[in-house]
Structure 1
Amino acid sequence: MNKIVSALGLLLSACAAFAGELVNLTPGQLQAMQAQGALVVDVRTPEEWRKSGMIPGSRGLTYFDANGGYDRAGWLNQLKPLRNSPDQPVILVCRSGHRSAEVGKMMVNEAGYAKVYQLEKGVKGWSAEGRLLDGQCKTC
C-alpha cells in the first residue's frame, strides 16, 4: 500500500511540474509586455467592446456567449492565427478579471499553454488608473 501511495505522489508531482502558469498583471505590466510584442486578447462580448471600448492594440475574441456557454476548441482555433508565433505571450482581458482568469486556467490546464497572462481587475482596473480605452472620448 505504501508503494502505491508513493507512486501516486510521484505521479502527481510530475503532473504538477508540467502544469502551466497563469500570471496576473497590472495595467503597467500589460503595457510593457504589449510593447515587447505580447498579444492582448479581450474575451468580452462585442456589445461590451462597443459599450466601454477596448485596450488600445488589443484583439477581440469572445469566449463566453450571452448565456455563459463556450466553444473551447473553436476559440483556441481562432486564437492560433492571431499569434505571431507559438512563443508569443498571450495576455487575456475581460471586464473585471474573472472571465479572463477562467479562460487562462483552461489554457494552461487543458490546452497545454506553459504560461498565460491576464489583466488583474480587467478593464475596470485599467480605467480606474485613468488609462483610456479605444472608443472612449479622450476629451470628455
Structure 2
Amino acid sequence: MTPVSLNPADAQRLVADGATLVDIRDADEHAREHIPGALNLPLAGIADMPAPSGPIIFHCRSGMRTAANAARLADAVNGSPSYILAGGIDAWRTEGLPTSVDRRQPLEIMRQVQLVAGGLVLLGVVLGFLTTPIFFGLSALVGGGLMVAGATGWCGMATLLHRLPWNRRTLAA
C-alpha cells in the first residue's frame, strides 16, 4: 500500500500520538538539521529497517525523495500504516515547527560537490578567456566527472570531499 501524504500539522499530531518519524536523508544531512525525535534511516539502508510497532512517517528535505521512493518505503514497513511528510523538512520548517540545527556540522556532501564543481567550471571559463584556452579543459573535466557520477552513481569529487578534515565530524557521528 502506497504511503499517504500528510501536511506538517497532521504529521506533528500523529507523532504526538506515537507515530515514528523517519528521516531518510543521509547522515550528513541529518546531522546539520533534523526534526527533533526523528530517527535517521538513510534510504540506502531502508530495507533493513526493524519492524515498526506503529505508524511510520517518512520524510526527506523537500518531499521529492520520499515521493519518488514511496513503493520502496511501503515495502519496508511490512503492512504497517505509513505516511510521507509532504514538502519534507522544508515544509515542516516553513510551518514554524521546530527543527534542531547544528551549524558546526559541515554542509551536506552533495552541496559541497555543487559548490566546488560550479567554482571549478567558472574558474576554467574565466581563466580560459583571460589567459589561455587550455583552461577550458578544466570545465570539460568537471562536466565529464559529473556525467560519470550521474551515469554510475559514483562521484569521485564527493569521495574526495568526504575525506577532507571538516567532514570527519559527520563520519564519526
Structures share a fold, TM > 0.5?
yes
Deviation for aligned residue 1:131: 1.8
| Residue in structure 2 matching 1:106, options 59, 67, 72 | 72
Q: Secondary structure at the match of 2:68?
A: helix
Is residue 2:18 matched to residue 1:48? no
Q: Deviations over 1:94-136 (max 9, x none)?
A: 0000111233321336875354201000011111112221236
Please give the alpha-carbon distance, in whole angstroms, between the structure 2 residues aligned to 1:107 and 1:25: 15
> What is the rounded CA distance, in whole Å, between the counterparts of 1:43 and 1:130 in structure 2?
21
* Secondary structure class of the residue paired with 1:31: helix
CA distance in 2, matches of 1:97, 1:76: 19
Structure 1 residue aligned with 2:46: 75
Larger Cα-atom Rg:
2
Return closer, same or farther for 1:43/1:33 CA change in 2, 3 Å cut-off.
Answer: same
Query: Structure 2 vs 1, CA of residues 122 and 29 (structure 1 numbering), >3 Å: closer, same or farther?
Result: same
Q: If each structure's helix is expressed as a fraction of its own residues, which one has the higher value?
A: 2
Aligned mates of 2:20, 2:91 — CA distance in 1: 19
The residue aligned with 1:17 is: none
How many residues are matched?
103
**Structure 1 residues 126-135 or 29-38, which shifts more?**
126-135
Match of 1:80, SS state, is coil
* Closer, same or farther: CA 127–106 of 1 in aligned 2, 3 Å: same
Q: 4+ residue runs of structure 1 moved beyond 4 angstroms?
A: 109-112
**Cα 1:111/1:26, change in 2 over 3 Å:** closer
CA RMSD of aligned residues (A): 2.3
Q: Any stretches of 5+ residues in structure 2 without a counterpart?
A: 104-173
State the percentage of identical aligned residues: 30
5+ residue gaps in structure 1? 1-19, 64-69
When normalised by structure 1's length, the TM-score is 0.64
Does the 8 Å CA contact 2:5/2:86 hold for their aligned counterparts?
yes
Q: Greater relative contact order: 1 or 2 (C-alpha under 8 angstroms, separation 6 or more)?
A: 1
